[in-house]
Amino acid sequence: MKVTGLRTIRLPEQPQMLWLQVLTSEGITGLGETCLGPATVEAHLHETVAPYLVGQDPTRIAAHRRQLYDVFVGYEGTSAETRGNSAVDVALWDIAGQAGGQPIANLLGGRTRDSIRIYNTCAGYQYGRGNNGALKASDRATASDRGFPAGTPPGPYEDLLAAVERPGELAQDLLEHGIRGMKIWPFDPYAAASGGHDISPEDLRAGVRALELIRSAVGDAMDIHLEMHAVWRLPAAIRIAKAVEPLAPYWFEDAVKAHDLAAAAQFAGATHVPAAMGETLAGRSTFRRLMESGAARIIMFDIGWVGGLSEASAIAALAESYDLPIAPHDCTGPVVLTASTHLATSAPNALVQETVRAYYTGWYADVVTALPAIEGGQIAPPAGPGLGTSLRPELLHRQDVSIRTTTAADLG
Q: What is the pLDDT of residues 17-63, one digit of tens each?
A: 999 999 999 999 999 999 999 999 999 999 999 999 999 999 999 99
User: 327 near 349, Cβ under 8 Å?
Assistant: no
* Of the candidates 340, 361, 368, the residue with the CA atom closest to the CA atom of residue 352: 340
Phi then psi for residue 61, to 5 deg, are: -65, -45
Give the helix ranges, DSSP H, for 224-260.
234-244
pLDDT at 132: 52
Give the mean model confidence (pLDDT) for residues 126-153. 52
- Size of the chain in residues: 412
The residues pairing with 253 across neighbouring beta strands, listed in sequence order, are 227, 276
In the chain, CATH 3.20.20.120 covers 106-380
Flag whether pLDDT at 151 surpasses 90.
no
pLDDT bin (cut points 50, 70, 90) of residue 355 is very high
How many Cβ atoms sit within 10 Å of the Cβ of residue 86? 32
Angle at 372 between CA 369 and CA 378, to 5 degrees: 160
pLDDT digits (tens, 9 = 90+) for 112-122: 999 999 999 99
pLDDT of the residue at 70: 80
Q: In sequence order, which residues have a C-beta less than 8 Å from that of residue 95 and are 6 or more positions away?
A: 1, 22, 24, 28, 29, 30, 58, 59, 386
- What's the rounded mean pLDDT across residues 160-179? 97
**What pLDDT shows up at residue 412?**
79
Beta carbons within 8 Å of 63's beta carbon, 6+ residues apart: none
Q: What is the three-class DSSP state of 410?
A: helix
Q: How far apart are CA 355 and CA 332, in angstroms?
A: 9
Distance, in Å, from the CA atom of 108 to the CA atom of 316, rounded to the nearest integer, reads 11
Question: How many other CB atoms sit within 10 Å of the CB of residue 206?
Answer: 15
Mean pLDDT computed over 254-280: 97
Q: What is the mean pLDDT of residues 173-189?
A: 98
Poorest-confidence range of 29-38, 81-90, 92-101, 150-159? 150-159
**What's the pLDDT score for residue 137?**
38
Mean pLDDT of 329-344: 97
Residue 73 predicted with pLDDT over 80 = no
Q: Where are the beta strands (DSSP E) in 155-209?
A: 181-184
Q: Which helix (H) or strand (E) holds 345?
A: helix 334-346
pLDDT mean across residues, the chain: 93
Pairing of strands 3-10, 17-24: antiparallel
* Distance from C-alpha of 319 to C-alpha of 349, rounded to nearest angstrom: 8
Angstrom distance (rounded) from CA 273 to CA 256? 15
Mean pLDDT, residues 75-86: 89
Structure confidence at residue 72 (pLDDT): 60
Q: Where in the chain is the domain with CATH 3.30.390.10?
A: 3-101+390-411
The average pLDDT across 143-160 equals 65
Q: Among residues 31, 55, 42, which one has the least CA distance to residue 408?
A: 55
pLDDT at 142 over 50: no
CATH topology of domain 3-101+390-411: Enolase-like; domain 1 (3.30.390)
Asked if the model's pLDDT at residue 130 lies above 80, the reply is: no
Closest CA to 174 of 213, 142, 214, 115: 214
| H/E run at residue 209 | helix 201-218
Half-sphere exposure of 194 (CA within 13 A, CB side): 16
Residue 41: its pLDDT value, please?
97
Dihedral, 40, 44, 50, 51 alpha carbons, nearest 10: 140
- CATH no. for 106-380: 3.20.20.120
How confident is residue 96, by pLDDT bands cut at 50, 70 and 90?
Answer: very high
- Helix, strand, coil % in the chain, rounded to nearest 5: 45, 15, 40
The Cα 52–Cα 131 span in angstroms is 31
Rg (CA), the chain: 21
**Percent of the chain residues past pLDDT 70, beyond the cut:** 93
Give alpha helix (H) positions in 6-60: 38-44, 50-53
